[in-house]
Amino acid sequence: MTTFFSEIRTQLKGTKKTIVLPEGNDVRILHAASLLQNEGIVTPVLLGNVSEVEKTAEEATIDVSGISIIDPAEVSYFEELVEVFVERRKGKATLEQARELLQNVNYFGTMLVYTGRVDGLVSGAVHSTADTVRPALQIIRTKPGVSKTSGAFIMMKGNEKLVFADCAITVAPTSKELAEIAIESSKTAQAFGMHPRVAMLSFSTKGSAVTEETIKVAEAVKAAQLLAPELLIDGEFQFDAAYVPEIAVKKAPDSTIQGDANVFVFPSLEAGNIGYKLTERLGGYEAIGPILQGLNAPVNDLSRGCSADDVYKLSLITAAQSL
């Protein structure tokens, strides 16, 4: 266990945070839930048909005794959740439509978060990102002042921690959206013990190139600085000018960031997704996430190629977000 996760576990001790795992029939989910249950720091809740979940666990020799397993079709408060959902959707769903939607484990799990029955949700081992994010946006919604959610990765290598965003959600963010992503990424960094120094990235450093793309990032920097003057946010930067002190001195001598950025905001999803995977695969960094930012309560998305260890770690992170 890295120092990072040891610190999170220390933070969570005694808090009794509960995380719902909607994909209760997946062996990776069951392994992670069993580990969480045995560890006693975060309480897992599984969704699915109880007998099917128990059979899958038995066949995989996974101990799920003591873990709460909820079948949406059988729960006593289902109709209560249906009514709350209809009210939340404000005329966009009838009672019958709500009943059908809440048979979906991601919608049902998100309602458990919204009504305070659990503290957060982790899904995506079987479902797509859209399947996880859509209910969160419809039910939990984004915080005031945040127009869209975004996806950040914590990149770790040795004792180094970096935050990369948006690498998962918004394809072509506007200047306003980039500013929001920068601010929310700062909050993510702070939540995990970092002192954020935010670099907004481009293929230009401080006007070395002037195009529609670079102007968008420069305007985002100004917007973020106005919205959150207490945060250290600067740009636009090429990555080397934000990360390497010797290059920062040459390319951005007047910047408050001198090659010491630890939060990096990419100008597009294309750049962010490629960037984090290059850093992971060629640079040897561990990529933790995506951590969904900007929501009123924590919901996080797994990769469908995830391991049981990934599920366990993201469950800890999700619980920590709810502190």
The CATH number of whichever domain residue 177 belongs to comes to 3.40.50.10750
Residue 178 lies in a domain: yes
Residues 127 and 184 grouped into a single domain = no
Check residue 129 and give its pLDDT: 87
* Burial (CB count within 10 angstroms: exposed 0-12, middle 13-18, buried 19+), residue 297: buried
The structure tokens listed for 294 are: 């900007």
The CATH number of whichever domain residue 25 belongs to comes to 3.40.50.10950
Check residue 322 and give its pLDDT: 93
Residue 292 lies in a domain: no
Check residue 208 and give its pLDDT: 96
Are the C-beta atoms of 46 and 67 separated by less than 8 Å?
yes
Find, among 304, 309, 196, 313, the residue nearest to 257 by Cα: 196
3-class SS letters over 91-150: CCCCHHHHHHHCCCHHHHHHHHHHCCCCCEEEECCCCCHHHHHHHHHHHHCECCCCCCCE
Check residue 1 and give its pLDDT: 56
Concatenate the DSSP letters of all residues of 249-270 into one string.
Answer: HHH-TT-S-SS---EEE-SSHH
Specify the 3-state DSSP secondary structure of 308: helix
Per-residue pLDDT tens, the chain, 323 aa: give them: 578 889 999 999 999 999 999 999 999 999 999 999 999 999 999 999 999 999 999 999 999 999 999 999 899 999 999 999 999 999 899 999 999 999 999 999 999 999 999 999 999 999 998 999 999 999 999 999 899 999 999 999 998 999 999 999 999 999 999 999 999 999 999 988 899 999 999 999 999 999 999 999 999 999 999 999 999 999 999 999 999 999 999 999 999 999 999 999 999 999 999 999 999 999 999 988 889 999 999 999 998 889 999 999 999 999 999 98
Q: Name 230's Cβ contacts closer than 8 Å, sequence gap at least 6.
A: none
Global pTM value = 0.89
Q: Which strands make up the sheet holding 150-157, listed edge to edge?
A: 232-237, 197-201, 263-265, 160-165, 150-157, 286-293
Are the C-beta atoms of 46 and 69 separated by less than 8 Å?
yes
**Domain extent at residue 168:** 150-286
Specify the 3-state DSSP secondary structure of 194: coil
Specify the 3-state DSSP secondary structure of 43: strand
Residue 63 lies in a domain: yes
Check residue 21 and give its pLDDT: 98
Residues 179 and 278 grouped into a single domain = yes
The structure tokens listed for 116 are: 């305070």
Domain count, the chain: 2
The structure tokens listed for 46 are: 């599984």
Residues 127 and 15 grouped into a single domain = yes
Which helix or strand (DSSP H or E) is residue 23 part of? Answer: none
